[in-house]
Structures are given as structure tokens and as C-alpha cells.
Structure 1
Amino acid sequence: MAPRLSVVVPIYNVERYLGECLDSIAAQTFEDFECVMVDDGSTDDGPVVAKAYAARDGRFRLVQQENKGLGAARNTGWRHLTPGTEYLAFVDSDDTLPPHAYQLMISTLDETGSDFAAGNAMRLRTTGLSPSHAHRRPFRETRLRTHVSELPALVTDRTAWNKVYRRSFFDAAGIQYPEGILYEDAPVSVPHHFLAERVDVLAEPIYHWRVREDGALSITQKKTDPRGLIDRVRSMELVREWLLARPEPQFAGYLSAYDRNCLVEEIPMFFWSIPDGDRNYWEVYQRHVSRLLNAIGPERVAELNAQLRLKYRLTLTDAMNRFIAVQRLHRAVRRTRQAAARRAGAIRR
């Protein structure tokens, strides 16, 4: 008889963290699961850790492949699931789960019948746990049987690992993780929000997202890496291409909402780090972001506030020296305000 839950764990050079990750899965209060570990061509002893787990706990098994990247490893794990499992989850191999995570999400899905559940996350550091800023808005409160059209902040819920899917929904959607790029989560997670009939949003943290503090930075910590910028833009383009290809009339509205999210939320994530990059990073930013802006269209840029309109005009006209000067000024003002707010808070305490 198939277990109720399948968990896919891609593994690549995370020997230091893998045991803690697998321990947290084994310790789940929901015990009826299988864990498909996918070694993506690791060059450290991570596979040794994984094999030891598979040897002592029959719920864990290891699949090995040549290095192809995170998206490909997730797809491989999906292809190796036991037929007939009811639910599906993904875990990154340097992260951990609180013991109740899957019990909470699956009991909620059993009650609601929703297509998937998505939960809040905490950042995991050596000093402890703290709230994930990236998950703050969409997971402010629990909302059952909701949809991105009712809770627009869900368009920012891009991560793969804070979800439990009803496997029939995931399989029928037919969306594979893109291979060969970074930021492969959004081209799957965002379309799933638009496709779902109902989604359960849980304010309780169900995932511990590690901040690397050992010099081996994670992808999201590499702020001036040109490849990261290129692939993040490509990730947005893949979501847009998927939305544009949908014939249903409501998807035109979904595309409009997603474009605004790109302009107001996602592209501005690059702004903060631009002054710290080198000329190559500036050129990569200008070329790839301009391509995305032109695809979205000038009429959408014209709807934005004056500060964003200015930065996008400087981007499109390749006036990067002026852009950097403006951004340095805005960054200095923001830091001054943040420092003042911290001082005011300290005085009140």
C-alpha cells in the first residue's frame, strides 16, 4: 500500500546540513510518508549520509544522477515517486522542518479538500529562528479555501518547499521545474496558485529556511551575481509566457496582476544591490531588465509611482550612472530612516 505523502529531497554538496534535514523529516509526527532523496552528482560525502539513512529507515530511498541542477533533481524525484501517493512535498537539503509541519498541512487538506496548502517560514541561523520577510505578507493570517484572486499577496509565494500538494493536482497541472536555471521555484509555484481552485494558507511556520553562515552562500544570498540576476529575470519571463499561453479569459487578468507584481515587488529587489555591483553586473541588469520591461509594456510602467518610473526610464535609456546615483541616494535615505526607527524603538522600551 502506498504511503499517503511523498517528500522529494534534492541533494548537492550539503554534507554539513543533510543529517539535520533528514532528521527533521524522520521526526515528523505524520509518519505515513516516503522520502525520495536525489543525489545530484555531489562531490562531498552527502550521498554517504543519505545511504545510511536509507539503510536504517525504510521510508527513505536514494536515487543518484549526474549533476543537472536543482530543477532537474526535483523532476527526477517526482518521476521516482511510488504510484498512488496522495500528497507531495519538496524539501531543500540544507533546511529543516518543525515536527508538526506535515501533520498540520495534511490534516488541513483532509478537512478542506483544497488543491494544496502553503505555510509560513522562519529563517534558520546558528543563533536561532526569525520570521522570513519573504513570507510575511501572504502568511499574515490563516485563510482556508482561498485563491490568489482573493488574496493577491499569494503571487509573492514563490517557494517550492513551504507547500504540500494534493498529488492529483500537481500531476494534472503538468508543470515541471525548469532545468538549467536558478530561481526555478516561481515558474511552478506561481502558475499553481493561478490554476488551483482553492488553496489553504497557514500562518503557522511549517518550514525553517537556512541562512548560510559558513561562506558557502545560498543562491538567494548572492546579491550581485550576474547569473542570479539573469536567471531571476528568466524566471519571471517563464511565468509570463505560461500566463500568455492560457486561453481562458481570466488569465488575462492574472497576467496583469503578475506584471504589476514584477514591476513593484520583484524587479526592485535588484535595486538595492546595484551600487555594490561592478560594471558587468550593471550591464547585465540593464540588458535583461530592459527586455522584461519592454515585454510588459510602457503603459504599465506609466501607472507606477514617480520613483519607480524614474528608475525604469533610466534603465531603458541605459543611463546607469544616473541610476546608480539615484539609488545610492534612496538607499542612504532609507538607512537613515531605519536607524531613526530603531533608536525610537529603543527609547520607547
Structure 2
Amino acid sequence: MAPRLSLVVPIYNVERYLGECLDSIAAQTFEDFECVMVDDGSTDDGPAIAKDHAERDRRFRLVRQENQGLGAARNTGWRHLTPGTEYLAFVDSDDIVPPHAYQLMISTLGDTGSDFAAGNALRLRTTGLTPSHAHRRPFRETRLGTHVSELPALVTDRTAWNKVYRRSFFDAAGLLYPEGILYEDAPVSVPHHFLAERVDVLADPIYHWRVREDGDLSITQKKTDPRGLVDRVRSMELVREWLLARPEPAFAEHLRAYDRNCLVEEIPMFFWTVPDGDHAYRTAYQQHVSRLLHAIGPEAQAGLSPQLRLKYGLTTAGRMHRFVALQRLHRAVRRTRQAVGRR
């Protein structure tokens, strides 16, 4: 008989954290699971740690492949799942899953019949746990059987690992993770929110998302890496392309909502790093963000604040020296206000 829950854990050069991650999975109060670990061509001792877990606990098994990246490793894990499992979840191999996480999400799905459950996250540091700013708005309160059209903040719920899917929903959606890019989560997670009939949103923290404080930084911590910027823009474009290809009338409104979020929240995240980036980073910002802004179109930008319109105008005009000066001024004003507020 197939286990009820399948877990996929991609592994690449994380020997420092892997044992703690796999131990947290083994300690789940929901015990009826399989864990498919995918060694994505690691060059450290991580695969030996994974192999040891597989030998000690029959619920764990190891699959190996040449290095292809996180998206490809998740897809490989999905292809190796036992047929007939009821639920599916993904875990990043440097993070920790609290003991109650899957019990809570699966029991909630059993009560509601929703297509998937998504939960809050905490950032994990050596000093302890703190709330994840990225998950603050959509997971402020528990809302069962909801939808992104009812809770627009869910469009910011881009991460792969804070969810438990009904396997039938995930498989039928036909969305696998894009391969060869960073920020591969959103082109799957965001469309799933639009495709779902109902989603359970849990304010309870069900995931501990690690901040690497020394050694190799995580993808999200490499703030001024041009590749990260290029791939994040491409991630947004992939979501837009998927929405544009949907024939249902409702998806035209979903596209407008997504574009609005890109303009107001996601693209402005680059603003704060452009002054610190080198020439290559600033060039990547100007070229790739300009392409995205042209695709979104001027009508969507008409309702933005004057400040945003100015920054986007400078971006598309290639006036990066003026953009950097304006952003440095904006950053200085913000820091002054924050300092006054703390007094």
C-alpha cells in the first residue's frame, strides 16, 4: 500500500545542514510518508548522510543524478514518487520542518477538501527563530477554503516548501518546475493558487527557513548577483506567460492582479540593491526590468504612485545614474524616519 504523503528533498552540497533537515522529517508526528531524496550531483558528503538515513529508515530513499539545478531535482523527485500517494510536499535540504507540520496540514485538508494547504514560515538563525517577512501578509490569519481572488496577498506566496498538495491536484495541473533558472518556485506556486478551487491558509508556522550566516549564501541572500536578478525577472515572465495562455475569461483579471503585484511589490525589491550593485548588476536591472515593464504595458503603470512612475520612467529610459541618485536619497530618508521612529 502506498504511503499517504510523498516528500521530495533535493540535495546539493548541504552536508552541514542535511542531517538536521532529514532528522526533522523523520520526527514528524504524521508518520505515513515516503521521502525521496534527490542527490543533484553533490560534491560533498551530503549523499553519504542521505544514504545513511535511507539505510536506517525504510521511508527514505535516495535517487542520484548529475547536477541539473533545484528545479530539475524537484522534478526528478516527483517522477520517482510511489504511485497512488494522496499528498505531496517539497522540502529544501538546509531547512527544518517542525514536528507537527504535516499532521496539521493533512488533517486540515481532510476536513476542508481543499486542493492544497499553505502555511506560515519562520526564519531560522543561530540566535533563534523570527517571523518571515515574505510570509507575513498572506499568513496573518488562518483562512480555510479561500482563494487568491478572495485573498489577493496570496499572489506573494511563491515558495514551494510551505505547502502540502493533494497529489491529484498537483499532477492534474501539469506544472513542473522550470529548469536552469533560479527562483523556480513562483512559476509553479503562483499558478497553483489561480488553478485551485479552494486553498487552506494557515497562520501556524509550519516551516523553518534557514538564513545561512556564513559559508555559501543561499540564492535569496545573494542580493547583488546579476544572475539572481535576471532569473527572478524571468520567473515573473513565466507566470505572466502562463496567465496569458489561459483561455478562461477570469484569467484576464488574474493577469491584471499579478501585474499590479509585480509593479507595486516584486520589482521594487530590486530598487534597494541597485545602488549597491556593480555595473553588471545595474545593466542587468535596466535591460531585464525594462523588458518586463514594456510587456506589462503603460496602462498598468498609469495608476501607480508618482514615485514609482518616476523610477520606472528612469529605468526604461536608461538613466541609471539618475535612478541610483534618487534611490540613495529615498533610502537615506527612509533610514532617517526609521531612526526617529525608534526614539
Q: TM-score, normalised by structure 1?
A: 0.98
1:337, CA displacement in angstroms? 1.4
Residue 14 (structure 2) aligns with? 14
Please say if 1:276 is aligned against 2:271. no
1:267, CA displacement in angstroms? 0.2
Residue 65 (structure 1) aligns with? 65
Question: Any residues of structure 2 matched to 1:1-349 within 5 Å, and which?
Answer: 1-343=1-343
Letter of the 2:342 counterpart: R
Letter of the 2:264 counterpart: V
Letter of the 1:196 counterpart: A
Letter of the 2:303 counterpart: E
Q: Structure 2: how far apart are the matches of 1:338 and 1:44? A: 43
The aligned length equals 343
SS of structure 2 residue aligned to 1:228: helix
1:256, CA displacement in angstroms? 0.2
SS of structure 2 residue aligned to 1:118: strand
Letter of the 1:143 counterpart: R
SS of structure 2 residue aligned to 1:24: helix
1:322, CA displacement in angstroms? 0.3
Q: Structure 1: how far apart are the matches of 2:36 and 2:340? A: 49
Q: Structure 1: how far apart are the matches of 2:241 and 2:158? A: 16
Q: Structure 2: how far apart are the matches of 1:302 and 1:146? A: 30
1:339, CA displacement in angstroms? 1.7
SS of structure 1 residue aligned to 2:200: strand
Residue 347 (structure 1) aligns with? none
SS of structure 2 residue aligned to 1:62: strand
1:64, CA displacement in angstroms? 0.3
1:215, CA displacement in angstroms? 2.8
Task: Give a deviation string over 1:267-311, Cα, whole Å, max 9, x none.
Answer: 000000100011111111000000000000011112100110000
Task: Give a deviation string over 1:103-142, Cα, whole Å, max 9, x none.
Answer: 0000000000000000000000000000000000000000
1:335, CA displacement in angstroms? 1.1
Task: Give a deviation string over 1:164-222, Cα, whole Å, max 9, x none.
Answer: 00000000000010000000000000000000000000000000000001131100000
Which consecutive residues of structure 1, in runs of 5 or more, have no partner in the other structure?
344-349
Greater shift, 88-97 or 333-342, is seen at: 333-342
1:341, CA displacement in angstroms? 2.0
SS of structure 1 residue aligned to 2:178: coil
SS of structure 1 residue aligned to 2:164: strand
Q: Structure 1: how far apart are the matches of 2:28 and 2:89? A: 13
Letter of the 1:82 counterpart: T
Q: Structure 2: how far apart are the matches of 1:331 and 1:140? A: 27
SS of structure 1 residue aligned to 2:272: helix
Task: Give a deviation string over 1:86-106, Cα, whole Å, max 9, x none.
Answer: 000000000001100000000
1:51, CA displacement in angstroms? 0.2
Identity %: 86
Task: Give a deviation string over 1:225-250, Cα, whole Å, max 9, x none.
Answer: 00000000000000000000000000
Q: Structure 2: how far apart are the matches of 1:99 and 1:342? A: 37
Q: Structure 2: how far apart are the matches of 1:68 and 1:342? A: 47
1:333, CA displacement in angstroms? 0.8
1:48, CA displacement in angstroms? 0.3
SS of structure 1 residue aligned to 2:184: coil
Which consecutive residues of structure 2, in runs of 5 or more, have no partner in the other structure?
none
Greater shift, 208-217 or 225-234, is seen at: 208-217
Q: Structure 1: how far apart are the matches of 2:36 and 2:328? A: 46
Letter of the 2:262 counterpart: C
Task: Give a deviation string over 1:16-51, Cα, whole Å, max 9, x none.
Answer: 000000000000000000000000000000000000
Which 4+ runs in 1 deviate beyond 4 A?
Answer: none
